Each structure stands twice: as structure tokens, then as C-alpha cells.
Amino acid sequence: MRPVALVELDGSVNPGSAGFLVRAIERAPSEGYQAIVIRLDTPGGMVESTREIVKAELASPIPVIVWIGPGGARAGSAGVFITLASHVAAMAPATNIGAAHPVAMGPGGGTEKPDETMNEKITNDLAAWAEGIAQQRRRNVEWAAKAVRDSVSVPAEEALRLKVIDVISSDVTELVRGLDGKEIETALGKARLETLGVPLAKISMTPRERLLDALGDPNFAFLFIGLGMLGILAELYHPGTIFPGVLGAISLAIGLIATRMLPVRTGALVLMLAGGVLIAAEFYVATGWGLLAIGGILCLGIGGFLLVDPANPSYLVDRDFGVDWTMVLPVLLTVGAVLAVVVWKVAASRRMPETVGEAGLVGEEGVVLDQVGPTSGQIRVHGELWQARAAQPLAPGLHVKVVKVEGLVATVTPKDVA
């Protein structure tokens, strides 16, 4: 007997997860599967990605079975359309489905009047789409429209009573076994399921799909923006280190790319970037109180909490979709701790008597960057790059001490020798 494929959508609906599901649905027949099960737990996601999944479900030559589970899972917003489009819709006890209303709202939660006409058009379009899917799958058309227009959400038992789903099952294996002998109308005609004792073969994401899926996670975006700022700050504190700066720039770029796949509030993103500018400015105008750094951290935190706009009409996500405080708090504490140390050191150094020239450099320790010899070489002392020379060749990475300064060239000796 032919096996049944199992795929999982546990998170937002985005280009990564949509590409994965579409690939699995389209390839399952040619790979010998008699049906495909989608285990669903999603707060929703991008409208266009949802449409791609629904199209694949409706065109599938083999039965597509959606199971919302395990207990505690949900099919929110975009998940409603994916469930309605399945050939067999099932839910585990203690799960819910619904709340697909796309009304756009302002940052304060109030409806933006200038967008009322556009919002009505979008709502009507999505409601008609939901009704069409429900009608084709012989599900409750009236409820499908209410899920979009009124944002109704129901638990498994109520969904079964309203004929939104076909069955309640606490286990996916039990669900598949219970469908044995059932005839299902697919895009190519009727298909009879023979599922007694057949194995469930799990299909996994490719590395590319995993990356795209991760980019659709708001926590991922916030984390990488935070890491990017830390890396750049480290480079500012120790110029010439290079690695932290490069890593920070890459992380910041990845975080900003991730925001392109999320319903981001532009103002919140600007606030986060402004926070980074304030934090960087602390290095140059530090007074010892760290006021700019504190302001930067506040901007970063507030921007993180407001980063995702769950009511963006281009997305179908639940209201609680966004950056979690358990992600924001550790990032802010880490940035704050690093800045506290840096500000303290910068302020302490500024309170010290200023020394310049030979008196300020002689006796200081540094690290060889380019091999130092009798005629040339380069060292780093306190984050500054200096031309250097020595009586004997000194290899890169060796710790040295400055014994003399002539113009812009320092004479050094190995630290242990000095």
C-alpha cells in the first residue's frame, strides 16, 4: 500500500513555508504518496503566500488532509483558508480556528479613516474568496464569510457542529487510520484511501526553505538587528578589529531583509535604527551618565514591541503576532550591559589627565598586525594603528611594548623582553 506524506506548518505563512507546502503537495503524487497530511499550527501570514498554498490544495490530484493539532494549536487568519481548502479538515481537541479579519489599524489601535474604503475592498475580496473555497469543499459558507468579516473564532467541537471541519481527532495517526476506505473527490476525480497500517512519511524543508521560513519570524528579525548593533558597537569601541564590524553589518542586513517579509511598521523600524544611532553617538559625546545610550535602548525596545503591525491588510495574522517580550528583554539587557561597561570605561578615560606624543605612548602595550622589522611594520595600541619598527623581526599577533616614539613611528620590543 502507498504511504501517506506528512508535512508540518508550525509558524507563520510566508514565502518559505508556502514554498515548502506547495512543493510537497505538487510532488507527493509522483513520489508515490496516496495522500498528504498538513499538521497546522499558525497565527497566519502573508496573503499571497496563502493563495499559493490554497491553489496547490485545490489543484491536488491526491487528497490533502489538514489537521490542526496537537492540543493548543490554532488555525488563525491565513490558517482558516488553508483548512477550508483541504479535502479533509480535522482538529484536535482544545484547538481553535477563525479570526481572519484583515482590517488595518493605526499604531494606537484605532481604525484609520482614510483607509476605510480600501479596507472594505480588501475585506470583501477575502470574504468572497473564503466563501468560494467553502462552497467548493461543501463547508459552511456563511461561517467562512463571518470568519473574515466579523473575525469569529470557534473551538474544535463548535467547528464540527457548524460543518467547518469534518472530524475531531487527538492524534494524526488515528486520523489517517480512521479515513480508511473513504472516497474523496480530487482534481482528477474520486480517490479511495487505503490507510490501515500504512506508514506516515514526514517531508522536511530544504535548507533554503528553512532560511526563508526563519526570515518570516519577527523574533528572528529583531534578534539579528540587535546582534548587528552589538557588532557595530564593538567595532566602534575597538577600531580595526574588523570581525565584529563585519559580523554586525551582516547581521543587521539579515535583520533588515527579514523585515521585508513581515508586516512592519515603518515608524517602529526607524525608531530602532534611531536607537542604534543614539547608542553609537554615546561613544563620541559620552558625559559619564550614558543618557544617549539609555535613550537608544528605549528606542530599540519600543521599536521592537511595535515592529510588527498585525493589522496590515497585506497579511492575515492574529493580533498577538509580533516580537515576543522574551526576545526583546534579553537583547536589551545584553546591549545595556555592554554599554554600561563601555560608557564607564570611556568616562573614566576622559577623567584621566590627557597625554599626547611620546609621553602618552611610551610604555604602552600593543599587538603586531603586520610583521615588524628594522624598517617597517604595523601595530595596534589602544585601538589605534601605528607604524612600528624593531631591532628583530616580530610576527603578527605578538604582544609588544612601545619603548620610543619618533614622529609617527614607534619603536617596540617584545613584551616579555621589555
CA distance 258 to 226: 13
Of 86-90, 278-282, 349-353, least confident by mean pLDDT is: 349-353
What is the pLDDT confidence band of residue 287, given thresholds at 50, 70 and 90?
low
**Amino acid 85: pLDDT:** 98
Enter the C-alpha cell of residue 129: 474568496
What HEC string does the chain produce? Answer: CCCEEEEEEECCECHHHHHHHHHHHHHCCCCCCCEEEEEEEECEEEHHHHHHHHHHHHCCCCCEEEEECCCCCEEECHHHHHHHCCCEEEECCCCEEECCCCCCECCCCCECHHHHHHHHHHHHHHHHHHHHHHHHCCCCHHHHHHHHHCCCEEEHHHHHHCCCCCEECCCHHHHHHHCCCCEEEECCEEEECCCCCCCEEECCCCHHHHHHHHHCCHHHHHHHHHHHHHHHHHHHHCCCCCHHHHHHHHHHHHHHHHHCCCCECHHHHHHHHHHHHHHHHHHHHCCCCCHHHHHHHHHHHHHHHHCECCCCCCEEECCCCCCCHHHHHHHHHHHHHHHHHHHHHHHHHHHCCCCCHHHHHCCCEEEEEECECCCCCEEEECCEEEEEECCCCECCCCEEEEEEEECCEEEEEECCCC
**Amino acid 6: pLDDT:** 98
**Amino acid 176: pLDDT:** 96
**Amino acid 109: pLDDT:** 37
Mean pLDDT, range 227-244, rounded to an integer: 77
Whose CA is closest to 218, among 255, 266, 169?
255
Q: Return residue ranges of the chain for CATH 2.40.50.140.
A: 357-414
Residue with cell 545595556: 336
| pLDDT at 55 exceeding the cut of 90 | yes
CA distance 40 to 66: 7
| Sign of the CA dihedral with 72 first, then 24, 320, and 137 last | negative
CATH class for domain 4-208? alpha beta
Mean pLDDT, range 169-192, rounded to an integer: 95
pLDDT tens profile 356-414? 555 568 888 999 999 999 988 999 887 788 899 999 999 998 999 999 888 788 999 99
Q: Return residue ranges of the chain for CATH 3.90.226.10.
A: 4-208
What is the pLDDT confidence band of residue 196, given thresholds at 50, 70 and 90?
very high
- The CATH architecture one would assign to domain 357-414 is Beta Barrel (2.40)
**Amino acid 179: pLDDT:** 96
Mean pLDDT, range 243-254, rounded to an integer: 83
State which amino acid sits at residue 352: M
**Amino acid 233: pLDDT:** 76
| pLDDT at 93 exceeding the cut of 70 | yes
pTM: 0.67
